Structure 1
Amino acid sequence: MTDEIRTSAELHEATALPCAGVVHADPTAMPTAEQEPLPAALSRQPIEEKSEAQWAYERLILYIRNFESQLEAEDEVAMGFAGGDAGVLRIEGLGYFDPDLITFYGRDEDGVKTQLVQHVTQLNVLLRAVPRAEPEEPARRIGFRLAKDWDAPPPPETPPPVTGA
């Protein structure tokens, strides 16, 4: 127990803030998504107003972007499937459909168009570094494209129109 006194507003705010943590065996390990500050854009909408799908989608982007930041130039991100011999999906897109579906778009190892629609309660994603499908082309970093607006400053507030007196 602490002697800290908090207002009900502070308690309410604390319950809405995301909580994350991670421990690595290697103290020199690259920072992971749990250790990075949330982009301001993710804080503009209170978490309690987000669907499970939207909040899962946003956090997946954080993980993908962080994973891609640590890839070699010749690699791109792909995801492996849990169970079965489904192989991997080279991630080309990510979406969500409220209130509870996440969709991965991409291609498998043979270049066949692939899509995975998954319920947020069944969400398990294994991110993998795979050689680029087209080595002569630059690596495509989907995580950074998905989050392109997150690092931009918020749009300026537009003042209400002035009415004549």
Structure 2
Amino acid sequence: MENLIIGRCQDFAIEVADFDQREGRVRFWANNSEIGDLKVNDELETCAYALKGLIDNKEDLFNDAFVSKTEAEIFQYCLLLDTNSSNRTEKDYERFRRVQHMSPFLGEQFDSIARVIYFKNGYYHILWFYNNDYTSNLNFMDNFKVEKIRAEDFEIACESFIDLVFYQ
């Protein structure tokens, strides 16, 4: 069976491979860039629920602390990369709790991708990098990427994917 592409790769699309009722492998496409590697077979419901949550709560996908920050600074802020992991305080963890919904669990197929998704001025911004090196020496900003996607393109692809997962 050919891979199913939901949406337009040049805007935003969700690619599904080995679709079998509720399981398959998924990767995203944004601005003709692949996000994911289609390596892990997983339940698709996890990804569908997470995407539905992003769409339903898009107005909560912004934090006033982002106003004067660059994309890289927002990424570091949300994932606490601007703090030393051995010296984090309760204030750091409270900050993380306020923004953790911007880094949703999309299923095991995206475990190797660090990501932050926020919404501003009619666009979803996906800040991400592919992390296949789990050593402590990793420079988190190596290969950092930003994808800016029109809300309409993101939501149409996501809603079609959700329909496929829950209603096919």
TM-score interval, normalised by the smaller of the two chains: under 0.3
TM-score with structure 1 setting the length: 0.26
Structure in which a larger fraction of residues adopt helix: 2
Structure in which a larger fraction of residues adopt strand: 2
TM-score with structure 2 setting the length: 0.25
Larger Rg over CA atoms: 1
Bigger relative contact order (CA 8 A; separation at least 6): 2
